[in-house]
Structure 1
Amino acid sequence: MRGSNQSGLRAYNQKLVLSLVYTHGSLAKTDIARMTGLSAQTGSVIMRDLEAEDLIIKGEPVRGKVGQPSVPMSINPDGAFFIGLKVGRRSAELILVNFLGEIKGTLRKSYPWPTPPLIITFVRDGLEDMMQLLPEELRDRVAGLGIATPFLLWDWTEQAGAPREEMDLWRNCDLRAELASFCNMPVYLQNDATAACAAELIFGEHQDLSDYLYFYIGTFIGGGVVLNGSIYSGRTGNAGAIGPLPVVGPEGKTVQLIDRASIMLLERMLRASGRDPSPLWNSPDQWTGFEALAEEWVGSVSRGLAQAIVSSAAIIDFEHVIIDGGVPAEIRDKIVAATRREISTYDLRGLEVPKILPGTVGHLARALGAASLPLFDKFLIDRNTRLGTA
């Protein structure tokens, strides 16, 4: 807090209180004073201000044996809303969530490859639809738009099977600035896999975990790193981008992990067998009609992940690994089980293997993570790292 003026200190304390209430579900004023070290009077003033702004709401008094009844305060779900945009290599999603991350609406668009005009038009039209989902009196509570997108999209032209001239349009496109030009709200940007990791951290069911390596299996695989309960994004914001990790591929040749553990590989397998790969993107919760190829793909994914996990565990002593993706839940669970079996065949002397767990957010993780960017910037405190920049 060095160098903070009085107004800055007040804003920090409000964020601190909101973060504690958000984490614990509900807290009384006495709890806030004990956890923060703030005086009872200061804590009361902050709680009153947050209640006046409709950010927290009172619960039913809890009567003890002595003294005044304790009044728990909790987050007001309608206190703020956030919009997240996921830009993928095969589809885009817009999502509207409330203060607790509960989904109020989604829009999805599939395409053979993304271009800036396509994405900008999708957002321009979709924002209006999203705002209409809220009562008019709540629309001014939409606090921001977060974008989750692969960085350097033009570098993946060959893998995505897209025309070079169309993907090169991304080189000179500042997507955040383009959307900010017509969005009446702050706009934020983050790497898509890091955003997915943030969604698991904030909205997932593994909130008690403080250190883990996160894998998100999308068109191309990506990931994130959580240390001490916060996202570690690194010097350039790309920490945990595990796609380029070298692994052993077919015929013993070294390839990148993206070539062994991405949905793009299954798309190629389907095309080679004369089948339509569009269900991979149009129906991320249900893959049917190509079960045998999916099983073969799961084997490839698990072998690649096992190598990546063992290599990563040798650098950072992760306690857990979480695997999620834009795949049906049963496919994700098969990948988790197969990866555990694959790792058991390694020589693990000198290593403590992390516990491998399935993710709990699924294919909306990147969009939810995008929506969390304005949530953190406006209302919560991230202990170690920024999740995005406005």
Structure 2
Amino acid sequence: MFADNAWEGALLDDPQTTLQPEPQLRGSNQSGMRAWNERLVLSILRRQGPMSKADIARVTGLSTQTAWVIIRALEKDGLLEKGKPQRGRVGQPSVPMSLAPDGALFLGLKIGRRSSELVLMDFVGKIRARRTLIYRWPTPGSVLEFAHGAIDAVVAEVAPDLRSRIAGLGVAMPFQLWQWSARIGAPATDLAGWETLDIRAELARAYPFPVFLQNDASSACGAELIFGDEVPAGDFLYFYVGYFIGGGIVLDGQLYTGRSGNAGAVGSMPVRGEDGRTVQLIERASISGLEELLEAAGRPAESLWETPAAWDVDAAILDRWIEAAGQGIADAALAAVALVDFDAVIIDGSMPADVRRRLVAVAAARMRSLNLSGVGEPLFAEGSLGPAARTLGAAAIPLSERFLVDRNGLLKPA
């Protein structure tokens, strides 16, 4: 696959190592399964961290010989690297294997309704470069110009011997963007070009690596699944509060995107409005609603987009918005839990951490105040990636598609 490294003979594992079982991730010792087994080993190391060769064999269920052959191949390809030997109580020291940061690089392009961002991410999830464009609304021409310029600039900064390790570009954006012109205050003619533009194919023609496309909220959910600090086991519903609220669904530990790639479109869910009438969640729990409240009161709203991690907004207006958004999310979560017995509800967004914390607390409290007869109350938790979630999710698309275990297999490179 990539570079060539030496490999030493196998060493005994550390008897003190405590491993988390992976009952749903089992390898195969049959021929023809090498691609799956390689992804399996990489997925285990990403999830559980460095471990010895013998421990990898035990956790994956592979025979020792099969596991060591795979580890040797991955190390030879530059995807794994040895750590410092660790001596246990008996036997030879154990050498942990871990993901090599330079093993593969990924580009992620997030196209939003107020900004676009491009990042370069390494194999362990560290962002190595970033470019951002803020606009009033996203015209196809301005976004493509930014994307090409940012990709060219970022790739030029990569060491020449590492450029061949760029494994793909993921694009995360709202689907059917041309239909949102009225809601974001843009002339319909400025967004009309999105209806005919195949941005994945357009970018794929310009670069030697595969390009993938995914809904932006689903991408944020995927990023939480891969990089989140404390991702709950089992099934969870994910809300991402951006300019418009969106969401994602995780079933059996895998991102579920549905037939059209738009599963988890929570913004369209009917909830109670301020006057008791039914409205869509997008009207109750989107940052655009906070922007409208600020502008109506003659207060500045620029910090919502310019400094998403540190808002400078009127406290009373923010309190009003958090209350409305929390109630709307609670209503939507109850409807969702009635259909799918979600273990948890995760809320994240392009907002400061303290605002997110308050929003989660309000949503959980409002959920408990609803009639929960016949349904189980899910755990409410904060997401851990904040404003970076959608861009990280974009870069994680080629990571997942090319290197990790993925039961969905829905994304296809252009």
TM class by smaller structure = over 0.9
What residue is the counterpart of 2:309 in the other structure?
A: 285
Q: Which amino acid aligns with 1:252?
A: G
2: distance between equivalents of 1:386 and 1:163?
37
1: distance between equivalents of 2:31 and 2:296?
62
- 1:106-117 matches, cutoff 5 A: 106-117=130-141
2: distance between equivalents of 1:80 and 1:53?
10
- 1:94-173 matches, cutoff 5 A: 94-173=118-197
- 1:40-51 matches, cutoff 5 A: 40-51=64-75
Unaligned runs of 5+ in 2: 1-27
Deviations 1:205-240 (A, max 9, x none): 123533211000001100011111111111211111
- 1:205-224 matches, cutoff 5 A: 205-224=229-248
2: distance between equivalents of 1:203 and 1:258?
26
- 1:204-283 matches, cutoff 5 A: 204-283=228-307
2: distance between equivalents of 1:292 and 1:354?
30
- Give the deviation of 1:388 after TM superposition: 3.0
Q: Which shifted more, 191-200 or 351-360? A: 351-360
Q: Are the equivalent residues in 2 in contact too, given 1:153–1:170 (CA < 8 A)? A: yes
- Alignment pair present for 1:388 and 2:411: yes
1:310 to 320, 327, 334: 334
- Give the deviation of 1:10 after TM superposition: 2.0
- Give the deviation of 1:65 after TM superposition: 4.3
- Which of structure 1's runs of 4+ aligned residues deviate more than 6 A? none
What residue is the counterpart of 2:3 in the other structure?
A: none
Deviations 1:309-337 (A, max 9, x none): 11111111111110000111111111111
Q: Are the equivalent residues in 2 in contact too, given 1:15–1:381 (CA < 8 A)? A: yes
SS at match of 2:181: helix
Q: Which amino acid aligns with 1:200?
A: E
What residue is the counterpart of 2:22 in the other structure?
A: none
- Give the deviation of 1:66 after TM superposition: 4.2
Equivalent residues, number: 385
Q: Are the equivalent residues in 2 in contact too, given 1:104–1:133 (CA < 8 A)? A: no
Unaligned runs of 5+ in 1: none
1: distance between equivalents of 2:88 and 2:308?
50
Q: Which amino acid aligns with 1:389?
A: K
Q: Are the equivalent residues in 1 in contact too, given 2:232–2:344 (CA < 8 A)? A: no
1: distance between equivalents of 2:151 and 2:345?
35
- Alignment pair present for 1:347 and 2:371: yes
- Give the deviation of 1:67 after TM superposition: 4.0
Q: Which shifted more, 178-187 or 257-266? A: 178-187
Deviations 1:333-385 (A, max 9, x none): 11111112222321222221111111100011001001011101211112x32
- Alignment pair present for 1:55 and 2:55: no
2: distance between equivalents of 1:224 and 1:209?
15
Q: Are the equivalent residues in 2 in contact too, given 1:373–1:387 (CA < 8 A)? A: no
Q: Which amino acid aligns with 1:56?
A: L
Q: Are the equivalent residues in 2 in contact too, given 1:231–1:387 (CA < 8 A)? A: no
1:19 to 17, 38, 43: 43
- Residues 13, 95 of structure 1: alpha-carbon distance in 2 compared, 3 angstrom cutoff: same
Deviations 1:48-103 (A, max 9, x none): 11111111001222334444433221101111111111100111111111101111
Report the TM-score when normalising by structure 1.
0.94
Q: Which amino acid aligns with 1:152?
A: Q
What residue is the counterpart of 2:387 in the other structure?
A: 363
Q: Which shifted more, 242-251 or 7-16? A: 7-16
1: distance between equivalents of 2:75 and 2:153?
29
- Give the deviation of 1:273 after TM superposition: 1.8
- Give the deviation of 1:161 after TM superposition: 0.9
Deviations 1:248-299 (A, max 9, x none): 1132211100000001111111221223322211111111142221111111
- RMSD of aligned C-alpha atoms? 1.7
Q: Which amino acid aligns with 1:300?
A: A
2: distance between equivalents of 1:199 and 1:374?
12
- Residues 264, 7 of structure 1: alpha-carbon distance in 2 compared, 3 angstrom cutoff: farther
Q: Which amino acid aligns with 2:269?
A: L
- Alignment pair present for 1:334 and 2:358: yes
SS at match of 1:314: helix
Q: Which has the higher contact order (CA 8 A, sep 6+)?
A: 1
2: distance between equivalents of 1:112 and 1:386?
35
2: distance between equivalents of 1:273 and 1:386?
48
- Give the deviation of 1:8 after TM superposition: 5.1
2: distance between equivalents of 1:186 and 1:90?
26
2: distance between equivalents of 1:116 and 1:7?
47
- Alignment pair present for 1:38 and 2:58: no
2: distance between equivalents of 1:7 and 1:117?
49
2: distance between equivalents of 1:59 and 1:286?
38
Q: Which amino acid aligns with 1:316?
A: V
2: distance between equivalents of 1:103 and 1:388?
23
Deviations 1:4-47 (A, max 9, x none): 9x985222221122112222211222123223333322222211
Report the TM-score when normalising by structure 2.
0.89
Q: Are the equivalent residues in 1 in contact too, given 2:42–2:403 (CA < 8 A)? A: yes
- Alignment pair present for 1:86 and 2:106: no
